[in-house]
Amino acid sequence: MKRYLLRRLARGLLILIGVSICSFVLADLARGDFFAEARLNSRISKETIAALREQYGLDRPILWRYAHWLASVFHGDWGFSLSYNMPVGPLLWARMQNTLLLTVSAMLLTWIAAIPLGVWIASTGARVNRLLSWSAVAMLMATPDLLVVLVLELIATHSGLLPLGGMISLEYSQMNVWDRVQDLARHLALPVTALVLSSAPAVVTHTVSAMRETLDSAFIRAANANGLRRGRLLFFHALPAAANPLISLFSLSLGALLSSSLIVESALGWPGLGRLMLEATLQRDGYVVIGVVMLSAAFLVCGTLIGDMLLYWADPRIRRE
Amino acid sequence: MDYYVDSKEPRSAIRNLSFSISPGEIVGVLGESGSGKSTLALALLGLLPGNARIRAGSVLFRGQDLLRLSHDDFRPYRGAVISLVFQEPAMALNPVMRAGDQISEVIRAHRHCSRTHRRELAQEALRGARLSTAPEIYSAYPHELSGGQQQRVMIAQALVCKPALLIADEPTSALDVTTQAEVLAYLKDSTTRLKAAILMITHDPTTLAGLADRVLVLHEGELVEYGSFANVSERPAHGYTRSVFSSIPKPPVTAIAHREEQSDVLIARRISKKYSGKRWLGKRDVQAVSDVSLTLRAGSTTGLVGESGCGKSTLARCLAAIERPDAGEVWVDGFDLFRLPSHELRERRRAVQLIFQNTAAALNPWLTLEEIVAEPLAISGLPLRQRRDQARALMEELGLPVSRSTHRPTELSGGQRQRLALARALAARPKILVLDEALSGLDLPVQAQITKLLKNLQESRALAYLLITHDLRTAGQISDNIAVMQTGKIVEYRSARELFSEPQHEQTRSLLNAIRSL
């Protein structure tokens, strides 16, 4: 078990190195750099631009820059952001916390709501219930995320109960701890709802199909014949047996924790990684882009590893191999 | 108890059936697949699927009509008063739950007691099931248990709340003959101890012999015969009952002498095959087949008999060159299959064709019957039309409805599917057919028909058969020679008649005892 884990971690590290090389080469292949736009500006002389490029090492060969970047990774700097004029590491760290606050709470809510709903839809005998809930889920699934955000904003504007964007109020720094938490929660409500509404349908449909198949199996019929109570049967006998596809889905969404909120962040002005990535790409702030790519890759590697561990824990048949 | 069940569309499964059963009594329900016997079991527990309706009738249990109870009011009866043992224990146990916990869950559903007390009761139930290593079984997952152990866990689960009635739906048909006898004995024993009644549902009358007090014979949803087992078996009144009892295999049958001069078509020498199973702690190697030699003659049948897990299927796969043995040679037509280059091996191994037990899984459900049979002909380079004609001719020879040649295999009955698998195998023009439990799982009259068909085919085509089975009765019926296998080795290999009259090895004797006690 320990050896397996170590092997997986080593493989994850290799993947990350590969990703970093690929993103360096791709960033290098793209034309222009952070100072490309300054060249169009007639008031900035060519010499100034050349001096600036030399100062930040942009004129050096790619291997030198890669080695330099690797060294800065070990210092926790992760390169230097030209548009923010600060090391990438601390910048990413702060933004990542904001994004994770949003996506982790959305993910928790999604799973807490979607699993019981899926189990209920799969097990309900009444055709009307099934039809209604099923069409609601299908409709949500077909709605573009942006539309969901817009509708939520509309509701928020008309009710006036919730702030429309941003993460904190202007007076945040003067508030005591309890008020701060409340303020944060009020700002979280809108983007979290949008994320839950956009990600829950997939979880519900997966739960329904996995549960339907399991409820059809002989061992559930046997459990029924043994007179087990319905709730116990559904959640302690059928759900664990139906867990495999759900765990795979869970590990996928773990891997997407940093990228799933891109649209919502941009639309609602949440100061997270998604917006940072978008801005940095447009401004050709190379090291920031590479940093975000690396972080996303790291999450994906960890997500699949956690997913595999969960599968191992949940299914004794896998444990044998 | 008065009883009458009817499921509405598309046909009625059971019509106008009445019977009663009293404490301590064992009543057998005999019928072929589709006769409504499993519907009966589910109806008694109020567990009919949603598309079934009970049109009329009642199930009286201690004066209470169970059919009038709602699903929730019925719940306390299930598993505690009336319990059910399913046919396939491997499917009926939850794969992700420990065996002991599955028993403890039943106690939890019906009684208020602490977790530790439940655990003790479950352990006790497992010990009662004569599972000698009860603590280990308790914490084992179903896939870690053998078929016999799984079925004992199921029975322990059904008996743990001391029910008044136990319904056993084909409780032994998925098990070896030797295990079958043990499980049946245990079932009878424990019910006499609990003074419970058993309703024993089966397609095989031999499992009822010496066990059932009375027998109900179901045919197409109707009760066609009812009486004591002795009466029904000795003086069957209905046509179906007669055909069931007359098709019980009665070994040994005539050994045929005139085939002595036939040539050897397959010679296997010193075959060995090892599987290495990786575990978390260290490796565990399994020697599936060790040092086995075997000769198959044209026009004769060799039976290969052994309990499940003795390596007989592995040996079959080696002989058909599906699997490469670690050591040994397989000579077919003067060629050692495993020394041939791969393209020649592909050509030569067509001489050996395999027929499996589970025909539903061995036939591609997306192809039509005709396409399935014509597929092996594709290699012959014949034009499509001729291939189709040949396929139809084969289907006709094997008694398959040619008019339905564009239908799919899922629409066929078990016996017809086995005929189709035979037609497909014959299309490759084999010299040897390996029949891996090809007759088990079929209703007895169907078994008898297929056996007859196999004999005819053997005579007209001089085929060599290797009949693999766990049941000496089946083997004895058509085999000239029988090899008995135990833990990868052949322990006895003689003519069928000698083997039955004077068994030498202990394993042969125990297999013979198992079928005699049934």
CA-CA distance, A293 to A273, in Å (whole number)?
A: 10
Give me the percent of chain A exceeding a pLDDT of 90.
38
Q: How many residues does chain A have?
A: 321
CA-CA distance, B108 to A229, in Å (whole number)?
A: 9
Helix (H, G, I), strand (E, B) or coil at B18: coil
Burial of residue B190 (number of CB atoms within 10 Å: 0-12, 13-18, 19+): buried
Residue B456 in domain: yes
- Of the three residues B162, B185, B211, the one that is the final residue of a domain is B162
Residue B418 in domain: no
Is the interface score ipTM higher than 0.95?
Answer: no
Give me the percent of chain B exceeding a pLDDT of 70.
92
Asked whether residue B109 falls in the same domain as residue B234, the answer is: no
**pTM of the model as a whole:** 0.76
- Average the pLDDT over A34-60 and give the result: 79
Asked whether residue B126 falls in the same domain as residue B274, the answer is: no
Helices (H), B398-495: 414-427, 444-461, 472-478
pLDDT tens digits along A288-308: 999 999 999 999 999 999 998
Which residues of chain A make contact with B92, given a CB cutoff of 8 A? 218-219, 221-222
Asked whether residue B174 falls in the same domain as residue B241, the answer is: yes
CB contact under 8 A, B92 and A224: no
Identity of the residue in A225, A317, A321 whose CB atom sits nearest the CB atom of B278? A321
Asked whether residue B136 falls in the same domain as residue B279, the answer is: no
Residue B174 in domain: yes
Q: Is residue B134 within a helix (H) or strand (E), and if so which, with residue range? A: helix B134-138
pLDDT tens digits along B427-479: 988 999 999 888 877 888 888 889 889 999 998 888 999 999 888 888 888 88
Residue B99 in domain: yes
Reported confidence tier of residue A283, pLDDT bands at 50, 70, 90 = confident
Residue A223 in contact with partner chain B when CB distance is under 8 A:
yes
Which residues of chain A make contact with B276, given a CB cutoff of 8 A? none
Residue A126 in contact with partner chain B when CB distance is under 8 A:
no
Which residues of chain B make contact with A320, given a CB cutoff of 8 A? 143-144, 279
Return the residue in A214, A226, A237, A321 with the most chain B beta carbons within 10 A, the one to mutate for interface testing: A226
Q: Which CATH number does the domain housing residue B458 bear?
A: 3.40.50.300
Q: Are A252 and A199 in contact (CB under 8 A)?
A: no
Token pair of B47 as six digits: 């567990």
CA-CA distance, B162 to B80, in Å (whole number)?
A: 7
Burial of residue B469 (number of CB atoms within 10 Å: 0-12, 13-18, 19+): buried
- Of the three residues B162, B187, B204, the one that is the final residue of a domain is B162
CATH topology of domain A92-320: MetI-like fold (1.10.3720)
CA-CA distance, B162 to B103, in Å (whole number)?
A: 13
Residue A231 in contact with partner chain B when CB distance is under 8 A:
no
CA-CA distance, A283 to A277, in Å (whole number)?
A: 10
- Of the three residues B183, B214, B248, the one that is the final residue of a domain is B248
CB contact under 8 A, A218 and B94: no
C-alpha closest to that of B178 among B497, B435, B506, B438: B506
Asked whether residue B355 falls in the same domain as residue B277, the answer is: yes
Q: How many residues does chain B have?
A: 518
Domain that holds residue B511: 265-359+430-517
Strands B283-297 and B264-278: what pairing? antiparallel
B511 against A2, higher pLDDT: B511
* Count of domains for chain B: 3
Chain A CA closest to residue B47: A225
Residue B368 in domain: no
Residue B158 in contact with partner chain A when CB distance is under 8 A:
yes
Residue B241 in contact with partner chain A when CB distance is under 8 A:
no
Identity of the residue in B92, B96, B154 whose CB atom sits nearest the CB atom of A240? B96
Asked whether residue B215 falls in the same domain as residue B114, the answer is: no
Which residues of chain B make contact with A122, given a CB cutoff of 8 A? none
CB contact under 8 A, A221 and B97: no
Strands B352-355 and B432-436: what pairing? parallel
CA-CA distance, B340 to B285, in Å (whole number)?
A: 28
Residue A247 in contact with partner chain B when CB distance is under 8 A:
no
Chain A CA closest to residue B278: A321
Asked whether residue B273 falls in the same domain as residue B151, the answer is: no
pLDDT tens digits along B113-130: 899 999 999 998 888 887
User: What type of residue sits at position A149?
Assistant: V
Asked whether residue B172 falls in the same domain as residue B77, the answer is: yes
Asked whether residue B37 falls in the same domain as residue B70, the answer is: yes
Where chain B has pLDDT below 70, the residues are: 1-11, 50-51, 250-262, 276-285, 516-518
Residue B153 in domain: yes
Asked whether residue B343 falls in the same domain as residue B443, the answer is: yes
Asked whether residue B122 falls in the same domain as residue B216, the answer is: no
CB contact under 8 A, B75 and A227: yes
Burial of residue A55 (number of CB atoms within 10 Å: 0-12, 13-18, 19+): exposed
Asked whether residue B11 falls in the same domain as residue B108, the answer is: no
Sketch the domain layout of chain A as residue ranges: 2-88, 92-320
Chain B CA closest to residue A238: B94
CB contact under 8 A, B47 and A228: no
Closest approach of chain A CAs to the CA of B97, in angstroms? 8
CA-CA distance, A241 to B243, in Å (whole number)?
A: 43
3-class SS string, B244-308: HHHCCCCCCCCCCCCCCCCCEEEEEEEEEEEEEEECCCCEEEEEEEEEEEEEEECCCEEEEECCC
